[in-house]
Amino acid sequence: MTWVSARHHRGVRIYVCSTLEPGRLLTEELYRFDFNGKNHDELEAVMNSEPILEEILIKRSQQKKRTSPLNYKERLFVLTKTRLTYYDGSPEKKTKKGSVDLQKIKCVEIVKNGGAIIPCVNKYPFQVVYDASILYIFAPSNERRSVWVQNMKEEIKQNPSVVAKFHPQFWQEGVWLCCRQVEKLALGCEEYNLFGDISRKPLPPIPGNETIGKGRRPAPPPPPQGNEEKNSTEETKEEIVIALYDFEGKEAQDLTLVKGEEYVIVEKSDVNWYKAQNKYGEEGYVPSNYVAEKELGHIDQYVWYCKNVNRNQAEQLLRNEDKEGGFMVRDSSSPGAFTVSLYTKSAGEGGSSIRHYHIKETQSVPKLFYLAEKHHFSTIPELIEYHQHNAAGLVARLRYPVGKSGTSAPSTAGFSYEKWEINPSDLTFMKELGSGQYGVVRLGKWRAQHKVAIKAIREGAMYEEDFIEEAKVMMKLSHPKLVQLYGVCTQQRPIYIVTEFMELGCLLNYIRQRRGSFSTGTLLGITQDISEGMEYLEKNGFIHRDLAARNCLVNDSLMVKVSDFGMARYVLDDQYTSSVGMKFPVKWSPPEVFNFCKYSSKSDVWSFGVLMWEVFTEGRMPFEQNANHEVVMMVSQGHRLYRPKKATANIYDIMQLCWSEKTEDRPTFAQISVMISDALEGDS
- Catalytic residue annotation: 546
DSSP category for residue 119: -
Amino acid identity, position 664: E
DSSP codes, 524-579? HHHHHHHHHHHHHHHHTT---S--SGGGEEE-TT--EEE-STTGGGGB--GGGB-T
Distance CA 395, CA 269 (A): 47
Q: Which of 480, 477, 499 minimizes the C-alpha distance to 488?
A: 499
- Maximum separation of any 2 CA atoms in the chain, in Å: 110
Distance CA 101, CA 99 (A): 7
CA distance 278 to 40: 66
Reading across the β-sheet that carries 485-489, which strands appear in turn?
427-435, 439-446, 450-457, 496-500, 485-489
Contacts of 48 (CB under 8 A, 6+ apart): 80, 81, 82
Task: Give CA–CA dist 629/133, Å, rounded.
Answer: 38
* CB contact at 8 A, 87 and 75: yes
Of the CA atoms within 13 Å of residue 142, those in its CB half-sphere come to 9
Measured CA to CA, the distance from residue 35 to residue 10 in angstroms comes to: 12
Please give the Cα distance from 508 to 505 (Å, whole number).
9
Does 366 sit behind a cis peptide bond, omega within 30 degrees of 0 on the bond before it? yes
Helix (H, G, I), strand (E, B) or coil at 649: helix
Contact at 8 Å (CB) between 599 and 521? Answer: no
Measured CA to CA, the distance from residue 35 to residue 672 in angstroms comes to: 74
564 phi, psi to nearest 5 deg: 55, 30
DSSP for 271-311, please give it: SSEEEEE-TTS-EEEEEGGGEEE--TT--TTSTTEETT--H
- Axis crossing angle, helix 520-539 with helix 669-681, rounded to the nearest 10: 160
**Does an H or E element contain 356, and which?**
strand 353-358
What is the C-alpha separation between 109 and 112, in angstroms, rounded?
A: 9
The torsion region of residue 420 among left (phi > 0), alpha (psi -120 to 50) and beta comes to: alpha
607's enclosing H/E stretch is: helix 601-616
Q: Is there a binding annotation on residue 81? A: no
List the binding residues for ATP. Answer: 455
